[in-house]
Structure 1
């Protein structure tokens, strides 16, 4: 596998799509697959937010797309938490799973048609490899985390990625509320 950050991100996207298919097609595996999905998506999102989005915005000129992608991450975190809390045999689980699949599929499509091509075009091979290494290291550091484990520093990074100002003095709770409001207004 390539160490290019674009390829690494797309590989994670394919893994998530496979997990979605299994969650839909094999309900008996849901109790074991939900923690895998939430762990992978959370680690992937935190690594993108910390390492990839700032470079995509500043170096590849994708700031508007990054802000939109960041808002979609906030929405996905909320849906992941709902999915993890739902009974895997319930109609509520099916409903939340469908919402999550729709939201993440939309996000992946936009990222793969807008942000990632811009990075491939505007960043050197060497820079994409550097970002790939940073993405992998960050992703490994966040494996095992769940959406609720987010820190105030990570929330501040999300606000910066989403181009939301005036958040430095906010509490963690106020910052989460602000990010959710911005994501919903999108």
Structure 2
């Protein structure tokens, strides 16, 4: 696979799909796998937001990045809701389905627009450089759960989503603005 950022992102997508499948089909494993899935999803999202989306935007994919960021915001909300749901409860399957559907939709769009665009517009060396940055950022965020986000990360999400004036907002104002963007 190497260090190509596109390959690394797609590898994470396949791992998330595998975890979703297990969570959906093996209820006895839900309690153990739920935090694994949510931490991978969170770390993957934060790494894309901080390292990949700014590069994709610079390479001409501004609209795709804004849309992808909005989908990340929605996935964060759904993952936070799922993490707060008892894996043995009757509400868990519906909450899981909502998250899985949203993430699968995002993955499909990202793999048909953002990632092919990066392959076309960025040379091998730049994609390898981004791959290393992605891996470092993902490692830095492993262990975080949905909802655990710093003001700097919120500012980056706002930039990716095309929200202006973020630096002058408080953390709670910014979080509220991003929640609204997720619903668009």
Q: TM-score range by the shorter chain?
A: over 0.9
Instruction: Report the Cα offset of residue 115 of structure 1.
Output: 0.1
Secondary structure of the equivalent of 1:147?
coil
Structure 1 residue runs of 4 or more that deviate by more than 6 Å after TM superposition: none
Instruction: Report the Cα offset of residue 73 of structure 1.
Output: 0.6
Instruction: Report the Cα offset of residue 91 of structure 1.
Output: 2.1
Match of 1:38 in 2: 38
Match of 2:15 in 1: 15
Match of 1:143 in 2: 142
Superposed CA deviations along residues 17-38 of structure 1, whole A, max 9, x for unmatched, are 0000000110000000000001
Secondary structure of the equivalent of 2:91?
helix
Aligned counterparts of 1:103 and 1:2: Cα–Cα separation in 2: 28
Instruction: Report the Cα offset of residue 71 of structure 1.
Output: 0.6
Superposed CA deviations along residues 46-70 of structure 1, whole A, max 9, x for unmatched, are 0000000000001x21110000000
Aligned counterparts of 1:31 and 1:8: Cα–Cα separation in 2: 27
Q: Does 1:29 align with 2:29?
A: yes
Aligned counterparts of 2:56 and 2:122: Cα–Cα separation in 1: 9
Q: What does 1:81-96 align with in structure 2 at a 5 Å threshold?
A: 81-96=80-95
Q: What does 1:12-161 align with in structure 2 at a 5 Å threshold?
A: 12-58=12-58, 60-161=59-160
Instruction: Report the Cα offset of residue 167 of structure 1.
Output: 1.4
Aligned residues: 184
Aligned counterparts of 2:170 and 2:30: Cα–Cα separation in 1: 35
Aligned counterparts of 2:140 and 2:95: Cα–Cα separation in 1: 28
Aligned counterparts of 1:154 and 1:130: Cα–Cα separation in 2: 21
Aligned counterparts of 2:90 and 2:77: Cα–Cα separation in 1: 18
Secondary structure of the equivalent of 1:148?
coil
Instruction: Report the Cα offset of residue 169 of structure 1.
Output: 1.1
Backbone CA RMSD of aligned residues: 0.7
Listed as ranges, the gaps of 5+ residues in structure 2 are none
Alignment TM-score, normalising by the size of structure 2: 0.98
Alignment TM-score, normalising by the size of structure 1: 0.97
